[in-house]
């Protein structure tokens, strides 16, 4: 499935709101927009939240505990990125890999240093024993 860009998501949602307003003469709910776009109400809710923050749409409490979507500034859609955003999971994996890459190298280095120290201590012990044997 191709990922929609923030621009495409906003265009689709605003268009669905306009179609509903034109055909029904009322502001749509999340469910009505979801039906028009054949998407889930969760998707509509997420996109509406993002667009509300940017001042593109506004959410108005309607009767019977419904939330209606109202277009505030349709021109602001043009300022949205036209590039697909990365999957959040991919972003988190990248961050984790960057964060842990140095840790792994540090642990390997620490183990190597510890091994060298043990070898040096063993060598010093053997050298001391050998010296004592020679001195005796």
- Residue 105 token pair: 């190298």
pTM of the model: 0.61
What pLDDT digit, counting tens, does each position of 81-117 carry?
888 766 677 778 888 888 787 787 888 899 999 999 9
Domain boundary, last residue among 55, 79, 103: 79
In this structure, are 68 and 101 located in the same domain?
no
User: Per the domain annotation, does 1 fall within a domain?
Assistant: no
DSSP 8-class letter at 2: P
pLDDT tens digits, one per residue of 20-69: 999 999 999 999 999 999 999 999 999 999 999 999 999 999 777 888 99
> What is the domain range of residue 118?
86-136
Q: Give the residue among 18, 13, 56, 57 at the shortest CA–CA distance from 37.
A: 13
Give the tokens for residue 15: 């268009």
Q: Which tokens is 121 given? A: 């201590």
């Amino acid at each position: 499935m191709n990922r929609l860009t923030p621009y495409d998501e906003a265009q689709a949602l605003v268009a669905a709101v306009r179609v509903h307003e034109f055909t029904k003469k009322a502001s749509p709910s999340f469910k009505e927009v979801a039906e028009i776009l054949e998407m889930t109400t969760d998707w509509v809710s997420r996109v509406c939240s993002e667009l509300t923050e940017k001042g593109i749409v506004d959410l108005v409490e309607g009767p019977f505990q419904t939330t209606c979507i109202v277009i505030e500034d349709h021109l602001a859609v043009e300022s949205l990125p036209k590039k697909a955003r990365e999957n959040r999971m991919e972003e988190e994996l990248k961050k984790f890999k960057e964060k842990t890459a140095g840790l792994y190298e540090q642990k390997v280095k620490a183990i190597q240093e510890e091994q060298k120290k043990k070898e040096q201590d063993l060598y010093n012990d053997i050298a001391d024993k050998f010296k004592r044997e020679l001195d005796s």
